């Protein structure tokens, strides 16, 4: 259970980071979301073997990481699993391309595309709170049920964490000197955890209803909360143009 | 199985978004229709449960790799395929936007590979059909394991298909598939047993929480028809869109023939050959998957759709014949 504990605590860290005060965090969430999609779309649209074009695309995450002081080491630790997956897929090209050099270039292209697009999403994740992302989804008319489920999942994780802790402690008290949880009771353990969490979730949800919450009524709380400032427009148009220039930089420079 | 953006090109990513949106709209419509307030809390907590479960990677013995639960089957066995699908969308959006796990452009593909098959094939077809004639622990185990294995294999197959359609790697389709399917078979088996253990416990303690165990009602049948229509629409969409991305290179057999003879087609002469060729020419309304004397892409797309309809029609006809023969005997 220490794994789940660790993972969930990491989640809290990201949430804390996203909620911290900073000019990038204060930017309109919809504009940040748009720039992220814009950047990813342009990055992955770069043809295979165009490694030079990809090198230009590094500028966007590099500027953000340096100017807004986002920890690159922490980022690498969090996305290390994706490195492995990209590496495994990329290395196959060494053997199946016409020449080893072509395979190597293709592998690097795939690797860079993957890393750059993950970095862009990571920037969005560590600078935008869950509420802001959900409100951005509401603004673009994503159905309320989906937005509400996203918010509930996020909030209920806390309930799940507490229940996990309670059940684990109870188990260890009943089975002292035992290393880990016996495989034979894994199903019961997970099932019990699920049922207890469902019950607690119902209690929380009922109390929300008592206070007048109705999921089918679209939340209006976000209205007026996100005033589009001049800096948001500068951010949106500025980066949109820069990203296009980065994408086609090699053509402009006739490289 | 979370795909990264690097594995897809914008066209394939867009197509997957379109397919996923269609299924999401259908699911939303169904959930709203059978609106139960109680389910909203369950959707949230089940989402949190699967979200947490996906964070724990388990080792696959003998391979040096690891996997994690997809959870589509587990969620749908508790909530039903429609609510389960929407919950899975929620989980994958959180993972993508808050943890950079799975690409933002690949979100549509990830929802399709991990949620659609788990919810609509795993629960709506496999779970439902196995538990139709009664519920027991044995049946729950069979349904869970079969559901997880089949849906993960389908998901892995589609990951390969989408990557190949995006043309981002020189890795041959068969080689990529040979890596993907066995590893996901192992992951599917582990997921199947974990899912079975949890669902058996729920069945023993609170069986009313399980979905679809009272079958045979009118409403159930209506919902089954709904699922089949979603699958039908999906088949048409895939046939219409993916056919446009089909490679123009010769297929495996043609390639082999070309290597041996220097041409992809073998020319045979003689009356019998000519007679059959003439019949085929008259019968083929869409030769080479295109309109006659035309090379437009609309022809390819149209051929895909027509082909899917005809195959579905033939299969339905065969099923009707088999049923009629069974009744008579």
- For residue range B6-55, what is the model confidence (pLDDT) as tens digits? 888 888 999 999 999 999 999 988 887 775 555 778 888 888 888 888 77
For chain A, how are helix, strand and coil distributed in percent, rounded to 5? 75, 0, 25
Alpha-carbon distances, residue B286 vs A22, B240, B248, B293 (angstroms): 61, 14, 17, 10
Give yes or no for a contact between B134 and B121, defined as CB atoms under 8 angstroms apart: no
pLDDT band, residue B310 (cuts 50/70/90): low
Helix (H, G, I), strand (E, B) or coil at B59: strand
Contact residues, A window 32-91, toward B, CB-based 8 Å cutoff = 33, 36-37, 40-41, 43-45, 48, 78-79, 81-82, 85-86, 89-90
Residue B114: phi and psi, rounded to 5, are -100, -35
What are the helix (H) ranges across B132-172? 137-166
Residue in A with minimal Cα distance to B96: A121
Question: B96: closest CA among A172, A82, A72, A208?
Answer: A82
Among candidates B7, B96, B172 on the partner chain, residue whose Cβ is nearest the Cβ of A121: B96
- For residue range A27-77, what is the model confidence (pLDDT) as tens digits? 888 999 999 999 998 898 888 888 888 888 999 999 999 988 888 888 888
Tell me the C-alpha distance between A56 and B12, whole Å.
24
B293: left (phi over 0), alpha (psi -120 to 50) or beta: left
Among candidates A43, A44, A153 on the partner chain, residue whose Cβ is nearest the Cβ of B47: A153
What tokens appear for A216 in the block? 């089918």
DSSP B177-239: HHHHHHHHHHHHHHHHHHHHHHHHHHHHHHGGGSSS-S---HHHHHHHHHHHHHHHHHHHHHH
- A30/chain B closest Cα distance in angstroms: 12
Question: B151: closest CA among B270, B32, B1?
Answer: B1
- For residue range A86-109, what is the model confidence (pLDDT) as tens digits? 787 778 777 777 788 888 888 888
Contacts of A111 in chain B (CB under 8 A): 6
Total CB pairs under 8 A between chain A and B: 232
Q: Check residue B255 and give its pLDDT.
A: 47
Distance of CA A46 to the CA centre of its chain: 23
Give yes or no for a contact between B59 and B16, defined as CB atoms under 8 angstroms apart: no
* Residue located via tokens 């981002």: B168
CA A25-A28-A31 angle, to 5 degrees, is 115
Hey, where are the domains in chain A?
2-137+226-252, 143-210
CATH 3.30.70.270 fits B5-245, yes or no: no
Hey, where are the domains in chain B?
5-245, 265-328
Give yes or no for a contact between B210 and B201, defined as CB atoms under 8 angstroms apart: no
Tell me the C-alpha distance between A247 and B183, whole Å.
36
* Residue located via tokens 């020419």: B281
CB contact under 8 A, A93 and B32: no
Average pLDDT over residues A233-254: 85
Tell me the C-alpha distance between A148 and A241, whole Å.
34
Among candidates A44, A82, A160 on the partner chain, residue whose Cβ is nearest the Cβ of B105: A44
Mutation for A interface: B37, B40, B44, most A CBs within 10 A: B44
Establish whether this prediction's ipTM goes over 0.90. no
Contact residues, A window 122-181, toward B, CB-based 8 Å cutoff = 122, 124-125, 128, 130, 133, 137, 143, 145-146, 148-150, 152-157, 159-161, 164
Residue A12 contacts B, CB cutoff 8 Å: no
Q: Check residue A219 and give its pLDDT.
A: 64
Mutation for A interface: B100, B140, B163, B175, most A CBs within 10 A: B100
- A114/chain B closest Cα distance in angstroms: 4
Tell me the C-alpha distance between A188 and B202, whole Å.
9
- B163/chain A closest Cα distance in angstroms: 10
Q: Check residue B145 and give its pLDDT.
A: 94
- A253/chain B closest Cα distance in angstroms: 25
């Amino acid at each position: 259970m220490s794994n789940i504990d660790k993972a969930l605590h990491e989640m809290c860290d990201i949430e804390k980071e996203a909620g911290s005060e900073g000019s990038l965090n204060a930017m309109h969430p919809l504009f940040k979301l748009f720039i992220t999609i814009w950047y990813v779309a342009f990055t992955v649209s770069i043809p295979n073997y165009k490694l030079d074009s990809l090198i230009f695309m590094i500028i966007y995450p590099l500027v953000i990481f340096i100017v807004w002081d986002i920890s690159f080491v922490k980022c690498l630790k969090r996305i290390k699993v994706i490195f492995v997956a990209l590496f495994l897929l990329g290395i196959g090209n060494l053997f199946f391309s016409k020449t080893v050099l072509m395979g190597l270039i293709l592998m690097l292209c795939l690797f860079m595309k993957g890393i750059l697009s993950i970095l862009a999403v990571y920037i969005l994740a560590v600078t935008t709170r869950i509420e802001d992302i959900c409100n951005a989804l509401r603004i673009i008319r994503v159905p309320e049920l989906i937005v509400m489920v996203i918010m509930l999942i996020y909030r209920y994780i806390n309930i799940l964490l507490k229940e996990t802790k309670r059940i684990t402690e109870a188990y260890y008290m009943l089975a002292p000197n035992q290393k880990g949880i016996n495989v034979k009771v894994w199903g019961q353990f997970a099932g019990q955890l699920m049922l207890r969490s469902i019950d607690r979730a119902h209690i929380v949800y009922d109390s929300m209803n008592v206070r007048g919450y109705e999921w089918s009524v679209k939340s209006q709380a976000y209205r007026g909360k996100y005033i589009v400032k001049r800096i948001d427009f500068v951010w949106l148009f500025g980066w949109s143009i820069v990203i296009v220039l980065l994408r086609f930089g090699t053509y402009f420079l006739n490289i | 199985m979370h795909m990264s953006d690097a594995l897809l090109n914008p066209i394939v990513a867009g197509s997957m978004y379109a397919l996923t949106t269609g299924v999401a709209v259908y699911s939303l419509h169904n959930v709203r229709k059978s609106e139960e307030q109680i389910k909203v809390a369950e959707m949230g907590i089940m989402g949190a449960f699967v979200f947490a479960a996906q964070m724990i990677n388990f080792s696959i013995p003998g391979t040096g790799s690891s996997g994690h639960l997809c959870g589509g089957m587990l969620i749908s066995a508790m909530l039903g395929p429609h609510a389960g699908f929407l919950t899975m969308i929620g989980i994958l959006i959180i993972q993508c936007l808050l943890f950079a796990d799975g690409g933002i452009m690949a979100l549509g593909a990830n929802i399709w590979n991990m949620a659609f098959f788990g919810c609509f094939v795993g629960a709506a077809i496999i779970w439902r059909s196995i538990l139709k004639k009664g519920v027991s622990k044995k049946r729950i185990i069979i349904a869970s394991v079969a559901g997880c294995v089949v849906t993960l294999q389908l998901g892995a197959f589609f990951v390969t298909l989408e990557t190949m359609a995006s043309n981002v790697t020189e890795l041959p389709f068969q080689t990529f598939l040979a890596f993907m399917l066995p590893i996901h078979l192992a992951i599917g088996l582990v997921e199947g047993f974990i899912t079975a253990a949890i669902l058996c416990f729920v069945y023993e303690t609170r069986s009313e929480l399980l979905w679809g165990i009272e079958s045979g009602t009118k409403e159930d049948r209506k919902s089954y028809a709904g699922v089949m229509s979603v699958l039908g629409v999906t088949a048409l969409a895939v046939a219409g869109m993916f056919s446009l991305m089909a490679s123009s290179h010769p297929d495996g057999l043609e390639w082999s023939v070309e290597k041996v003879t220097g041409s992809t087609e073998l020319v045979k002469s003689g009356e019998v050959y000519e007679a059959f060729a003439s019949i085929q020419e008259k019968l083929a309304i869409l030769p080479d998957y295109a309109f006659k004397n035309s090379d437009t892409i609309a022809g390819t797309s149209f051929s895909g759709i027509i082909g899917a309809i005809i195959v579905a029609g033939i299969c339905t006809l065969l099923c009707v014949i088999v049923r009629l023969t069974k009744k008579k005997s």
